A and B are shown apart, each in its own frame.
Chain A
Amino acid sequence: MFENLQDKLNKAIKTLKGQGRITEINVAATIKEVRRALTDADVNYKVAKDITDRIRDKAIDRKVLISVEPGQLFVKIVQEELTELMGGEAQGINVKGDPAVILIAGLQGSGKTTFSGKLASYLKRQGRTVLLVAADIYRPAAIDQLKVLGEQVGVEVYSEPENKNAVQIAQNAITQARKTGKKIVIVDTAGRLAVDEVMMKEIEAVKRAITPTETLFVVDSMTGQDAVNTAKTFNERLDFDGVVLTKLDGDARGGAALSIKTVVNKPIKFISTGEKMEALDVFYPDRMASRILGM
């Protein structure tokens, strides 16, 4: 569906050269191709515009159009810019505290419960004792789902099937963790829309009550333009510490990652790459940049 960006740029530049007018104005045509590629990759269109404005300046500075391999250099500049925006080195999560509490939040179906199981498994493999908490009191069979995953990875799951108060469940779980000497508590919560005031208040209350060491926002990598709205609101309400990008085993370009990073400036800490409990990876900015560009 997408033509290689480098080919497109080469073509655009060739046309310009053919006209024999290599000027700053002409860079605009090439920049437009970059902007389109970003928008096609689901980068928010406003974010794409800001990014390409900066790329244009750099391209002019580095005299891209009169270089030997203009397409190549142009792509290099784009890639550098994206990588930089995506953040420096991979960042781990903070597991200090007794117990360390990790709160998982995000939209419906983004992959929170699956990620909770994976994270539990990952931390367990590092030799830590973990308690998973089923604080989704809404979705049919949410508790069962987490229990199945807990069993798969050999981590205990705390739940209170009769209790309809997510705040209490989370608090009780922490007490339980202290009693049983668990060092890490992972709280899985219900999916919610950023515009759902009642549900956003609930997760704020959960956060206030358990003061997590780490709050993670889980996002589906297939998300489109709306990613910025959601991320902004969740960040305003929860001031989360990091982002988890899921379903990267598909072929989504994942432009949402770039939009979110640009808008809330929080690191992407993990990527989820499958339904199996082992399918978890740390995040590499340069790989993500290439992916967005389809290279």
Chain B
Amino acid sequence: VGKSTIDEEVLDELENVLISSDVGVETTVKIIRRIEERVARDKYMGTDELDRILREEIAGLLSSNNTEDVSDDFALPAGKKPYVIMVVGVNGVGKTTTIGKLAAQFHKRGKKVVLGAGDTFRAAAVDQLKLWGDRVGVPVISHGMNTDPSAVAFDAVKTATDMQADVVIIDTAGRLHTKINLMNELTKIKRVMQKFTPDAPHEVLLVLDGSTGQNAFIQATEFTKATEVSALAITKLDGTAKGGVVIGISDQFKIPVKYIGVGEKIDDLQTFNKMEFVDSFFKK
């Protein structure tokens, strides 16, 4: 049976799905409006078609990944060697683990990878990254704990250049976006790296925990201000949390989601697929 209008029940159900996926009230209202408008335009609509439209409208808010290579998102853009990635985010979201997993993907593709142990603050952070380096089989540049992270980043970029590495990934300490000094420190790390490679970092990857609610929005806002975030990674999507807050974030900031973390093992990193992501909201 086709419908020319969506009934309340369908919209209520959609609202529940979106809100419980952490999409947030504002973005949910926006999505529902778009669907209402579209349904008003198209005269006749079957249930299957409606279902498709729901998903399309939601996915439509997710910004596209604008790397040149569409066949493999783990490919590195040409002409930037080493490609410098700086990884940032609040405490405990999965930055260091994502770096380990990402290094493994690049390494697997025959790329020369260098890691920079820029978290010199959290207990055993350097050891943790070194263990990941060993696991993957790539060098980790470190100055030890309680040293200047900018100096580590500078050294990592320089060493990677000297070694003719393809990519260097800099870990940073977790920090809440409300801590102004720590946010300024990120800007400084960036600036110091630029003394060696003027256009570094080529990518600032903001890691968001998939179980985070609406606060992720403010995290994106503040980290973007401090470091010009250019890509997002959402972790811990192997649980029941959906990570829906990134829809609004990606829409507002036009930052693509590049990676998703789906576990703690070395292979548990995937490139982001919009439709799969949206479909996961509707799975029981």
| A residues neighboring B (CB under 8 Å) | 1, 36, 39-42, 44-45, 107-111, 113, 138-142, 144-149, 152, 193-195, 220, 222-227, 229-230, 247, 249-253, 255-256, 275
The contact sample of 28 A-B pairs, CB cut-off 8 A, is A1-B217, A36-B25, A39-B24, A42-B213, A42-B215, A44-B20, A107-B239, A108-B94, A139-B128, A139-B264, A141-B128, A144-B127, A146-B123, A194-B240, A220-B92, A220-B209, A220-B211, A220-B212, A223-B213, A224-B213, A224-B241, A226-B239, A226-B241, A250-B176, A250-B178, A251-B177, A251-B178, A256-B213
Chain B residues within 8 Å of A220, by CB: 92, 209, 211-212
For B25, the chain A residues whose CB sits under 8 A away are 36, 39-40
* Structural contact, A141 and B211, CB atoms closer than 8 A: no
Q: Which residues of B contact A44 (CB under 8 A)?
A: 20
B210 to chain A: closest residue by CB: A226
B157 within 8 A of A: no
- Complexed CA–CA distance, A252 and B21 (Å): 18
* Given the contacts A226-B241, A250-B90, A250-B176, A193 and B236 also touching, CB distance less than 8 Å: yes
Given contacts A109-B94, A194-B239, A251-B218, contact A223 B212 (CB under 8 A): yes
- Judge whether B217 and A226 touch: CB under 8 Å: no
Q: Which residue of A lies closest to B174 (CB)?
A: A275
Q: Which residues of B contact A140 (CB under 8 A)?
A: 100, 127-128, 131-132, 135
Whether A225 lies near B20 (C-beta < 8 A) is yes
Bound Cα distance A177, B216 (Å) = 42
Cβ-neighbour of A249 out of B100, B178, B212, B238 (below 8 A): B178
Q: Tell whether, in the assembled complex, residue A275 and residue B213 are in contact, meaning their CB atoms are under 8 Å apart.
A: no
Please report the C-alpha to C-alpha distance between residue A45 and residue B242 in the assembled complex, in whole angstroms.
15
On whether the beta carbons of B239 and A145 are closer than 8 Å, the reply is: no
Query: Known contacts A45-B20, A144-B124, A251-B215: does B209 contact A195 (CB below 8 Å)?
Result: no
Residues A247 and B91 in contact, CB atoms below 8 Å apart: yes
B20, B24, B176: which contacts A40 (Cβ < 8 A)?
B24
B16 and A45 contact, CB distance less than 8 A: yes
CB B217 to nearest CB in A, in angstroms, measures: 7
Chain B residues positioned under 8 Å from A145 (CB to CB): 122-124, 127-128
Assess the A222–B212 pair: CB atoms within 8 A.
Answer: yes
Most chain B C-beta atoms within 10 Å of own C-beta, residue among A40, A141, A195: A141
Q: Which residues of B contact A (CB under 8 A)?
A: 16, 19-22, 24-25, 90-94, 100, 121-125, 127-128, 130-132, 135, 176-178, 209, 211-218, 236, 238-242, 245, 264
A252 to B213, CA, bound (A): 9
Contact B92 A109 (CB under 8 A): yes
Additional A-B contacts beyond A145-B123, A249-B178 (6; CB < 8 A): A141-B130, A142-B124, A148-B123, A225-B21, A225-B213, A252-B215
A152 → B minimal CB distance (Å): 8
Partner of B213, one of A110, A148, A230, A255: A255
Listed residue (A45, A108, A193, A227) with the most chain B CB atoms within 10 angstroms of its CB? A108
- CB of A193 within 8 A of CB of B176, answer no
Chain B residues lying within 8 Å of A223, measured Cβ to Cβ, are 211-213
Contact across chains for B213 and A108 when beta carbons are under 8 A apart: no
Contact B131 A226 (CB under 8 A): no
**Complex contacts, A230 vs chain B, CB 8 Å:** 211, 239-240
In the complex, are the beta carbons of B214 and A250 less than 8 A apart?
A: no
Which residues from chain A contact B92 at a C-beta distance below 8 Å? 108-111, 220, 247
List of A residues within 8 angstroms of B94 by Cβ: 108-109
Q: How far is the CA of A119 from the CA of B219 in the complex (A)?
A: 28
